[in-house]
Structure 1
Amino acid sequence: MTHRTSAVAAAKTSGGRRISSLDLLRGVAILGTFGTNVFLFAHPGGPMGFFQDFTGAATTFTERAEIGLRLLSNGKFLALLTILFGVGLELQYQSSRRRGVPWPGRYPLRAGILFLEGFAHYLLVFEGDVLMAYGLTSLLVAYLVGRSDRVVRNVIVVVGGVYATLLLAVTALLVATPDISGEPPPVDPSATASWPAQVSVRLNDFLLLRAEIILIVPSAVVLFLLGSRLRRAGVFDDTAEGRRLRFRLLILGFAVGLPLNVLTAFSGPDWLLVDRYLLPPLVALGLLALVTHLALRMRDTPGIVRSGLMSVGRTALSCYVLQNLLAGILCYGWGFGLAERFADARPWWIVGLWGFVGLVNVAFAAVWLRYFERGPLELLMHRLYTPRRRTD
């Protein structure tokens, strides 16, 4: 089957209908991503303080427990969210083909809006924003998604291969180099005492704080394209081919990726790049297969948990920003200052913080969707992206 024929077949399969398992997956990915970010907010020195402390091997039970908790989410749900962005881009490509609209058409404008929303989120809310990287990636991938399967496969192999080789080379260098870092500098709670001061730091140290984009974009190009092709391959379909594909992803994610990820998580900070950027995408593929399989098996009306997650998934962009905004208000000194107040209760109180913010997110999404079809940021993006019809 040629790439054009397969794309048309995938478009007919979707038929413009909403894929409910995608909403469930997005909800899981959004709340799971906060499971990583919450540790940055909950540090008394904020994200910068967290990375200053990220040196040396864990020696106490509490330190090992925190590593174990971070292992549950670190990089995995971000990779899942990235794959789902690629699936969403593929669905938009299919929609354009069904309607006979040239591709990418106005999509670069959508990517630009996402980038600007990410910049505002970075500047005003959180140093660890990923929306800017997604905006850049979607602009690149928009011109690749419609190419032949051979071209896409070559891009995945070349970009992914170079990316993995470089990260493994840097990791080998870190492992081989003696650790001379010494004790980390003392935590400075004043770093989060003033919101205007935080904004100023994010603006003045933009290049330093946004350096992670260099690591995210190449990986995201691969995962976007992988999400696109998994959609075409029928990973979300209740067919024999879909079940076989999901089974292979389950094996790859949980029998290969997860054990290796556990090993690197407890191997010290020298393995950070492998632990966060190389192995989590494998686990994310297993998560995608598992959640999709469960969603296809559950034919009944969604219960409170599933409907809550699906509501978050339908308002994913808004909930992503909301959970980071809530965490800043609760944790930072200019808000309730819980990070400094409960510094001695790490990591246990962080679990409660994650649960509380997650419940607020679910409640917000469920109530909002009673009155609106899209989340607030989704509505804003839709209005900016959709051309206004002339009324003569």
Structure 2
Amino acid sequence: MSTAEPAPARGRIAVLDILRGIAILGTFASNAWLFAVPGGASVWLSGGLLAQDPVEAGLRLLSNGKFLALLTLLFGIGIELQYRAALRRGLPWPGRYPLRALILFVEGVLHYVLVFEFDVLMGYAVAALLVAYLIGRSDRVLRAWIAVVGTVLAALMLGITALLLAVPDTPGPPPVADPSATASWPAQVAARLQFFPLFRIEIPLIIPSATVLFLTGALLLRAGALTDTPAGMRIRRRLMVVGFGVALPLNALTAFGSPDWFLVDRYLLPPVVALGILALVTTVVLRSRRAPGPARRGLAAVGRTALSCYVAQNVLGAFLCYGWGLGLAARFADAPPWWVVGLWATVCAVLMVGASLWLRRFDRGPLELLAHRVQGLGRTPARAGSG
């Protein structure tokens, strides 16, 4: 093996690392638009993050909600793998998983306060705690949870959307971008604390949505959707037909339609498209007989350090775009939206190279390593002479 390529961790499923890498970098493709607005989240408070330019709307369509949904599916697959590992080792389940969820929640709080208003880790932690107690149930029970929670959530979002469409839009003054809102990092931290309920308004949607997608990911793994078998290929074909043939065209209509379709555009259709992405990437990777190239190795490295890269990409986005950093958002305020693509590509390249270099010496990302050590602090040491 070349010294330029980090050694694969034992027991890992290669396609999952690549999928996680794609999901992490794809998530930043959506978040980059938030960083690229002069004034940052303060513009969101006044409703100024809706795409006005058709090119920008099209670029957002490619990423909005889809890769976050993919990441959520993969998180559920991860819980299922941890559950299986506990069974193989004869360990009780959920065992120490609640501590793991608590650590993730604390990381999410710190990420929100210090870095990014639209953190998902807090919602993931709460949903993961619930799913940890469900994951050992039968497939029938998991499907029932998915059906009930998913139906209620979909009905709620469609009902709100119907109300929004029924109420005539009242045009108001255009939002004013205030670059001074991002000129001071301490001021941004204070604003996140002050407007916590408003910035965290997504949490009631993230938790049930994540629960459904976590359980869906677990069932897909159980059904063999990630295996190079005829059954796995059949499942993936169906997912691609539904994801790309049905959900993606509908998602295009909502993306270029009225802003009142926001909930459907971000929370209902993208998870279905994400199923198609998962199926397509898995099929391509399983069929590939070539040695991994730099791009694939870089994606896998990001996937193996997913938590660290998720936080790092938002730190980089804030530093590059905000006034207390390089201030690119204000400098390129009148530039075509393609500059945001350049921002995304630059951050992706930094993460892929950085993660690959890190994994030459460590088998986990820095935040993953820290969380692992914190989990180990409370572990009761084995008695001398015990088996």
Give the superposition deviation at 1:184: 2.6
CA distance in 2 between partners of 1:388 and 1:71 (Å)? 49
Q: 1:156 to 1:56 in 2, by over 3 A?
A: closer
- Whether contact under 8 Å (1:57, 1:267) holds in the other structure is no
Q: Which amino acid aligns with 2:25?
A: L
Deviation string 1:2-44 (CA, Å, 9 cap, x unpaired) is: xxxxxxxxxxxxxx83110000000000000000000000000
TM-score by length of 1: 0.93
Q: 1:213-252 to 2 correspondence within 5 Å?
A: 213-252=203-242
CA distance in 1 between partners of 2:91 and 2:174 (Å)? 56
Aligned to 1:383, which of 358, 373, 384? 373
- Whether contact under 8 Å (1:55, 1:269) holds in the other structure is no
Give the superposition deviation at 1:235: 0.7
Deviation string 1:40-76 (CA, Å, 9 cap, x unpaired) is: 0000010231463448884xxxx01100000000000
CA distance in 2 between partners of 1:46 and 1:155 (Å)? 37
Give the superposition deviation at 1:183: 2.1
Aligned to 1:185: 175
Give the superposition deviation at 1:207: 1.3
Structure 1 unaligned segments of length 5 or more: list them.
1-15
Q: Which amino acid aligns with 1:186?
A: V
| Mean Cα deviation higher: 380-389 or 257-266 | 380-389
Is 1:347 the equivalent of 2:347?
no
Deviation string 1:247-270 (CA, Å, 9 cap, x unpaired) is: 010101000110000000000211
Secondary structure of the corresponding residue to residue 223 of structure 1: helix
Give the superposition deviation at 1:100: 1.2
CA distance in 2 between partners of 1:379 and 1:56 (Å)? 38
Structure 2 unaligned segments of length 5 or more: list them.
1-9
CA distance in 1 between partners of 2:290 and 2:102 (Å)? 40
- Whether contact under 8 Å (1:44, 1:187) holds in the other structure is yes
CA distance in 2 between partners of 1:357 and 1:65 (Å)? 21
Aligned to 1:134, which of 121, 124, 127? 124
Q: 1:1-392 to 2 correspondence within 5 Å?
A: 17-50=11-44, 52-54=46-48, 58=52, 63-386=53-376, 387=379, 389=381
CA distance in 1 between partners of 2:49 and 2:339 (Å)? 22
CA-based RMSD of the aligned residues comes to: 1.4
TM-score by length of 2: 0.94
CA distance in 1 between partners of 2:47 and 2:199 (Å)? 16
Deviation string 1:299-350 (CA, Å, 9 cap, x unpaired) is: 3321011011000000000000000000100100111111011000141111
- Whether contact under 8 Å (2:51, 2:57) holds in the other structure is no
- Whether contact under 8 Å (1:65, 1:347) holds in the other structure is yes
CA distance in 1 between partners of 2:366 and 2:50 (Å)? 42
| Mean Cα deviation higher: 148-157 or 89-98 | 148-157
Q: Which amino acid aligns with 1:114?
A: L
